[in-house]
Amino acid sequence: MKYLTAITSLIILNTFAVITLLYFGNFTGKIEKENKQLEIEILKLNEQLKINEVEYNLYNNYSYLKKLQKIYTNTEKINLLSGNRIFLKDFENRELKNVYFISSN
């Protein structure tokens, strides 16, 4: 009778442990989905921040951008405000000419 009570108590303890692990595993799955959504939002905000940094340089360091223009282009009188704005979606949709990618590294 000793062994029977020991075995049944261990079986009950093991089933209880499995049920609690499944219960908490369900919570971690939900948390993992939320973390992935937050990571995607952070990447979007990071991309928006990069765009805002370019705009900040345009308005505050215009002379620096003019020096870069003199280095990389032959003509000095290029109308930058001609109304032809380039958005990030344009890079995916069509081939753009005379557009250079510059890394900040």
Residue-level pLDDT at 6: 92
pTM higher than the cut 0.75: no
> At residue 103, does pLDDT exceed 70?
no
Whether 78 and 69 have beta carbons less than 8 Å apart is answered as: yes
Residue-level pLDDT at 74: 59
Mean pLDDT confidence for 14-38: 92
Residue-level pLDDT at 85: 62
Across the chain, mean pLDDT equals: 76
Which of these, 76, 96, 79, 78, lies nearest to 88 by C-alpha position? 96
Mean pLDDT confidence for 25-41: 92
What is the rounded distance in angstroms from the CA atom of residue 105 to the CA atom of residue 94? 27
